[in-house]
Amino acid sequence: MTSIDSVISFIKEQYKTEAFIPLHVPHFGGNEKKYLLETIDSTFVSSVGPYVDQFEIMMQKITQTQKAVAVVNGTAAIQVALRLLGVKSGDEVLTQALTFVATANAIAYQNATPVFLDVDLDTMGLSPKAVSLFLEEFGELREDGCYNKKTGNKISACLPMHTFGFPVHLDELLAICNTWKIALIEDAAESLGSEYKGKPTGCFGKLSAFSFNGNKIVTCGGGGAIVSNDLKLGEKGKYLTTTAKIPHPYEYVHDEMGYNFRMPNLNAALACAQLEQLYSFLENKRKLAKEYESFFATSGVKFRTETPETKANYWLMCVELENKIERDLFLETTNKNNVMTRPIWQLMYRLPMYNHCYRDQQVNAEFLEERIVNIPSSVR
């Protein structure tokens, strides 16, 4: 295997610095300052303003969906998507344990229970085979949907996450979900700009959720979005996330429990400027990924690349080490030498609040947990 020192040297060469190299930092090279100043001058810095509307229109175009709803963060987007599809207290949601904690938290916020199923080795996202095997063993179709015949709980949704921007096998998952009458929601928090069979991630699920956190490919500090091709669902999402207020010139009437999940116009202004640069960001990231791929090809270290019929945004690029010992040595050495790297997330069922949840054998997830390391992936 290529020495870790040579990896460090290569990364420093790419970023042309001996100073600390973060994992992923935002790039503000467009109209960010202009739009922010316009927003401040207008005094519309809160949840009403033209940039909120513009952001939603831009997201509709990028994701090829009928409706986008700007919200405060990606976790809120998932939570509201689950509610819109009728996920209730006591229901079960099929998802992956190899994910950021927000995926599981959003399910728990609905008082539902995550069911942790294995991922595929190639995508690092929810495995159609694992979902199918679980449903064949535990699923029971009834007139009003799918139920877990062991627990008696309704299985209301399937929530795959496109890990690091690598799309899951969507066609297979959708076919399984359609057979079992389970709604599919894409956790597309990490996959803005990624494509599956020529179409953008986020347009396949009944609803999908995006994140614009500070370390995402496009950021507005915080921020999230719900997108859907079901206009009625999308409009209901807008209503719920703006406190379920009935429109009126001055009266305050709310006819159900809503959420104050509105994205401020100030954040939306930043988001719009960032979205204008999305495709240049993607191009630069793909160039960096090619350089990494070429370097690691002769190193004995596997650099993770997109799967056939997909186009990844390469949000966070990653390598697969030989084993946990090699992984830990790589992490320790790179971080000591001013190159930030990090392991993939700890599997959700290892966390105290989710260790009671059902999980299958997790063969692939545990394999990846011991080997995957993220390396610097910023737009240069």
* Structure confidence at residue 48 as a pLDDT band (50, 70, 90): confident
The pLDDT, as a whole number, for residue 47 is 83
What is the residue range of 286's domain?
A: 4-27+278-346+371-375
The pLDDT, as a whole number, for residue 310 is 98
The pLDDT, as a whole number, for residue 191 is 98
Q: What is the mean pLDDT of residues 25-34?
A: 97
Same domain flag for 225 and 270: yes
Same domain flag for 199 and 50: yes
234 in a structural domain: yes
Distance CA 193, CA 166 (A): 10
The pLDDT, as a whole number, for residue 202 is 98
Q: What is the mean pLDDT of residues 310-326?
A: 97
Q: How many domains does the chain have?
A: 2
358 in a structural domain: no
* Structure confidence at residue 1 as a pLDDT band (50, 70, 90): low
Rg, the chain, Cα only: 21
With a cut of 70, say whether residue 332 has pLDDT above it. yes
Same domain flag for 23 and 37: no
Same domain flag for 171 and 214: yes
> Which residues 6+ apart lie within 8 Å of 137 measured at CB?
none
Q: What is the mean pLDDT of residues 340-346?
A: 98
356 in a structural domain: no
Same domain flag for 78 and 196: yes
Q: Are 226 and 71 in contact (CB under 8 A)?
A: yes
Length of the chain: 380
352 in a structural domain: no
The pLDDT, as a whole number, for residue 43 is 95
The pLDDT, as a whole number, for residue 300 is 83
Q: What is the CATH number of the domain that holds 320?
A: 3.90.1150.10
Q: What is the mean pLDDT of residues 199-203?
A: 98
CA separation, residue 287 to residues 280, 291, 293 (Å): 11, 6, 10
* Structure confidence at residue 299 as a pLDDT band (50, 70, 90): confident
340 in a structural domain: yes
* Helices and strands: H and E segment counts in the chain: 12, 16
99 in a structural domain: yes
The pLDDT, as a whole number, for residue 128 is 98
The pLDDT, as a whole number, for residue 219 is 97
pTM of the model: 0.97
CA separation, residue 163 to residues 119, 233, 246, 297, 365 (Å): 10, 26, 38, 22, 12
Q: What is the CATH number of the domain that holds 89?
A: 3.40.640.10
Same domain flag for 83 and 232: yes
Interval 158-198: pLDDT, tens: 999 999 999 999 999 999 999 999 999 999 999 999 999 99
Same domain flag for 254 and 142: yes
Q: What is the mean pLDDT of residues 91-113?
A: 98
Q: What is the mean pLDDT of residues 282-311?
A: 96
